[in-house]
Amino acid sequence: MNAPIASLYFVSAGMLLMGSFHAALMARSSDHVKAAWLFSAICLAFSLFQVSNAAQYTAGDLPAAVDAHKWVNLFLLLIVALIWYLVAAFDDAWYAPVMSHGIAVLIGVVIACNFAAPFGFRFSSVHPDIAVVLPWGERIAVLSGEPSAVSRVVRVVSLALMVYALLFSVRVHRLGERFASALIWGSVGLMFLTTGAASLSDAGTLKVPYLGGFGFLFLAASFSIMVRTNFSNRKLEQVRISSALVQEVERHEIAKQRFQHALNNDPLTGLPNRSGALDRLHILVDLNGLNRTVLAVFLLDVDRLGIINGTRGHQVGDQVLVEVSERLRHNVTDSDLVARLNNGGFLVAAGNLVGEGGVAVLYDRLAAALEAPFLVAGSELRITASAGVAVFPDDGGAAEDVLAAAELALHDAKRSGPGSLGVYRPSLKGNIQERIDFENALKAALIKRQFFLCYQPQVRASDGRTVCMEALIRWEHPTHGLVLPDRFIQLAESMGLIAAIGSWVIESACEQLARWHAMGYDGLRVAVNLSAQQLLVSNLEETVAQAIRRFGLAAANVELEITESVLMQDPESSIARLGALKSLGVRLSIDDFGTGYSSLSYLKVLPVHAFKLDRSFVRDIGKGGKDLEICATAIGLARNLGLDIVAEGVETEAQARQLRALGCHLLQGYFFARPLAVAAANEFLGGPFKSLETGAIPLEFVG
Ligand code: C2E
Ligand code: MG
Ligand code: MG
């Protein structure tokens, strides 16, 4: 090739064009969008500048060289304007854009002059000799001549701009913005280069081709490398961000699953909870619907779980629940459902059963599973569970309906006492509103003062003297009339109302006793019944002590009755609780004695003062069965243990005489008095004693 310099100009023009394209591409994702676009425009202008230079240097004569030179000038002026805009793009000062626009206008004017003047804006005249021979023999057309006035003005302005740009570059450099400062330093250097070289060449001092474009090529290349590094760093950052995002999403997914699991499962037993159970129940209902099989839904509620929690601690209660869940699980198949719906409430849904027989067999299996004693915290504990059962499809066509039916059945079972099974029947549905009303009325009864106490005397067998009055609660229901405790005490327990009702009973009974003492019945005692759950109330001792103190009573005149079956559910903790009550100085008695299967070993250590022989033994005492012997044995046992014995339910004189003959200390029953309202009780106390004739009782039974 005989024109290497011209070829180099074309090659550099191509590379600058590429650079322009590259910068334009980068501009879209750059942090410096405006600067990148400007850089792209500068590359393009430089590319065209190089092409016009090549055209000038390869021109055959002066007019062709001048024509090309005007284009060289045009692109040079554009480059100056663009570089200026580029510098201003990084300057936040208010005057930077103003200056840029001013310079653009000035350059516009110079461009017009450039094309209007015969030799372009730089020369007022040019030397005719344009040929320059380069060392390797190549001839190029380099113009030189007399600089024009415009050219001088442009030079002065460019000098001023360069000084400003230099000062600004120092500022940017100090701010430490690597990318921006490199660009600006490059641009400023370039401006120096182009202006200096152009001045020398124009004056004819230097007969060299204009090499500013090559210098810019270097700048464009370094810019590209910079952009690429910046880009790959961004890419790395993007990869880091997206992997962090993936991790976050995974973490979120795990958290969601955990949350879902926590929403649908009971943390203690690991069984599905109510919402989890309902989901599974839907599936079971659908499945049994398709197979035309029977699905039994049992709701089991561990009776008196509150007592276990209250007396043995929640940890023991929890162990019992875990054990219950395991026993239930072991007694159904894997495709059946066992769930824990609430505190002591479990659900067992078993499908593929054949008719009622299958349901009954399953219930027997579940009941038997819970019957075996529970070994917790080193001692044996027995529990019972009330159960309600409903079946799909007979009692409900949807999961919710069967569940609601089973709930009604359970509710019904609970009314029959602990350990009962309730089977759903449509009539239960009709009673439910009535029951809800009853429960609501019970809630309000205490505030509405609808409770009152009746008192039933306990008389001394030896002389018929009344020694104690047992307080028996009554509820004057606004529509049902008088309601007896058997109908609402258990309900009050399950509704959590018993503590408040119990405290009211203790207070009222103590107040009444104080009145009787004031009336002159010194030494008279009052007996108050405690329910199973009352034994759990942590401030029971305080309530009793406070009532005694408030009404100025001797503690020994207050007696607390606790049903034997309640005590025997968890004898060890009952003994501890009774011990605490006994330390107040009050008397304690075991109510309904003979019905709770007390073992002798416990009876010996129970800190009580009296047994109250259940009226079921007293009732048939004279009928020739074994009851007389049972009574005799119980009375003998009490006497041997040094305890008082009270016979409940004495209805006839014969019973009273027989019991007295057996050695019973105290007698209580309709024969002496029914539970009496206060006025009637006062009358009874003021009336004559009921003395019994002695004799006619076989002596061999005397204990
Ligand atoms: P209890 O403590 O064994 O009370 C004796 C029950 O037998 C009373 O029934 C009484 O009216 C009844 N009774 C008394 N003598 C005779 C008799 O000669 N023949 C017959 N057939 N029955 C007789 P009531 O008042 O209905 O109380 C039932 C149970 O309710 C009580 O049994 C007691 O466990 C409980 N209760 C009563 N009042 C309260 C109370 O204030 N708080 C608590 N927690 N329970 C109470
Ligand atoms: Mg009683
Ligand atoms: Mg009783």
**Ligand minimally distant from the alpha carbon of residue 486:** 1
Residue with tokens 């409903």: 390
486 lines ligand 1 (CB under 6 A): yes
Task: For residue range 327-380, list pLDDT tens digits in order.
Answer: 999 999 999 999 999 889 999 999 887 766 788 888 999 999 999 988 887 778
Instruction: Tell how far the Cα of 455 is from the centroid of ligand 3, in angstroms.
Output: 13
Query: Phi/psi zone of residue 477: left (φ > 0), alpha (ψ -120 to 50 degrees), beta?
Result: beta
Contact 306, 497 (CB under 8 A): no
Eight-state DSSP code of residue 533: G
- Sequence-distant (6+) residues with CB within 8 A of 302 are 320, 321, 324, 344, 345, 346, 383, 384, 385
- pLDDT tens digits along 608-666: 999 999 998 898 887 777 888 888 888 998 888 899 999 999 999 999 999 999 999 99
The residue whose CA is least distant from atom 37 of ligand 1 is 472
Give the position, in ligand 1's atom list, of the atom nearest the Cα of 502.
42
Determine which of 539-543, 545-549, 570-574 has the lowest per-residue pLDDT on average.
570-574
> Across all residues in the chain, what is the average pLDDT?
85
pLDDT, residue 703, reads: 26
251-307 pLDDT tens trace: 888 888 888 777 888 999 999 998 899 999 999 999 999 988 889 999 999 988 877
The CATH class for the domain spanning 274-426 reads: alpha beta
Cα of 591 from ligand 3 centre, angstroms: 5
Pairing of strands 451-460, 666-667: antiparallel
Pick from 689, 607, 610, 625: nearest CA to 656: 689
CATH topology of domain 439-686: TIM Barrel (3.20.20)
Of 407-411, 547-551, 619-623, 677-681, give the lowest mean pLDDT range.
619-623
Dist CA 90 CA 34 (whole Å)? 9
Ion ligand 3 nearby residues (CB, 5 A): 591-592, 648
Q: Which residue has the tokens 């180099």?
A: 8
Give the C-alpha separation, 185 to 595, whole Å.
104
Most confident of 422-436, 454-468, 608-622, 628-642: 454-468
Segment 485-507 mean pLDDT = 90
Crossing angle of helices 399-415/274-291, nearest 10°?
110
The whole-angstrom separation of Cα 573 and Cα 308 is 9
- Residue 698 pLDDT level (bands cut at 50, 70, 90): very low
441 C-alpha vs ligand 3 centroid, how far in Å?
A: 26
Closest by CA to 383, choosing from 300, 269, 305, is 305
Residue 696 clears pLDDT 60, i.e. is over it: no
- Rounded to an integer, what distance in angstroms lies between the CA atom of residue 633 and that of residue 606? 18
* Ligand 3 center from residue 563 Cα (angstroms): 7
**By alpha-carbon position, which residue is closest to atom 17 of ligand 1?**
649
Is 591's C-beta closer than 6 angstroms to any atom of ligand 1?
yes
The three-class DSSP label of residue 70 is: helix
The finding on whether 614 has its CB within 6 A of some atom of ligand 1 is no
**Which residues are within 8 A (CB) of 255 and not within 5 positions of it... i.e. 6 or more apart?**
none
Rounded mean pLDDT, 122-128: 87
β 466-477/451-460 pair status: antiparallel
- More confidently predicted of 628 and 690: 628
| Crossing angle for the helix pair 212-264 and 178-202, to the nearest 10 degrees | 170
> Which residues make beta-bridge pairs with 222?
none
Q: What is the pLDDT of residue 595?
A: 74
Q: Residue 192 above 80 pLDDT?
A: no
Angle, in degrees to the nearest 10, between helices 653-662 and 627-640? 40
Atom of ligand 1 nearest to the CA of 472: 38
529 CA distance to ligand 2 middle (Å): 5
- 97 vs 636, residue with greater confidence: 636
Query: How is 415-478 classified by DSSP, letter by letter?
Result: HT-TT-EEE--THHHHHHHHHHHHHHHHHHHTTTT-EEEEEEEEEETTT--EEEEEEEEEEEET
677 CB within 6 A, ligand 1: no
User: What is the sign of the dihedral through the CA atoms of 409, 410, 415 and 418?
Assistant: positive
Under DSSP, is residue 489 helix (H, G, I), strand (E, B) or coil?
helix
The ranges assigned to domains in the chain are 4-233, 274-426, 439-686
Question: How confident is residue 701, by pLDDT bands cut at 50, 70 and 90?
Answer: very low
Please tell me the residue having the least CA distance from ligand 1 atom 42: 529
CATH number of 4-233: 1.20.1070
Q: Which atom of ligand 1 is nearest to the CA of 668?
A: 15
Closest ligand, as measured to the CA of 595: 3
Which residues, in sequence order, are bridge partners of residue 147? 123
Which among 164-178, 389-403, 524-538, 569-583 has the top mean pLDDT? 389-403
> For ligand 1, is residue 472 a contact (CB within 6 Å)?
yes
The burial of 243, by beta-carbon neighbours within 10 Å (0-12 exposed, 13-18 middle, 19 or more buried), is given as: exposed
Q: What does the pLDDT read at residue 660?
A: 92
Q: Quick check: CB of 473 below 6 Å from ligand 1?
A: yes
Which residue(s) pair with 350 in the sheet?
296
Burial 132-148 (b: 16+ CB within 10 A, else e): bebeeebebbbbbbebb
Determine the residue of 472, 493, 530 to mutate for testing ligand 1's pocket, defined as the one with the most ligand atoms within 8 A of the Cβ atom. Answer: 472
Which residue has a Cα nearest atom 10 of ligand 1? 675
For the chain, give the percent of residues with pLDDT over 70.
91
Give the residue, out of 529, 563, 676, with the most ligand 1 atoms within 8 A of its beta carbon, to mutate for a pocket test.
529
Average pLDDT (504-523) is 96
- Pairs from 667-674 (Cβ < 8 Å, separation ≥ 24): 667/458, 667/459, 667/461, 668/456, 668/457, 668/458, 668/459, 668/470, 668/612, 669/615, 669/618, 672/457, 672/459, 673/456, 673/457, 674/456
Residue 459 φ then ψ, to 5°:
-110, 150
Do 559 and 527 form a contact (C-beta atoms < 8 A)?
yes
pLDDT at 163: 81
CA 700 to ligand 3 centroid distance, Å: 27
Ligand at minimal distance from the CA of 614 is 3
The radius of gyration of the chain's CA atoms, rounded to the nearest angstrom, is 53
Query: Residues within 5 Å of ion ligand 2 by Cβ?
Result: 529, 561, 591
CA 490 – ligand 1 centroid, Å: 13
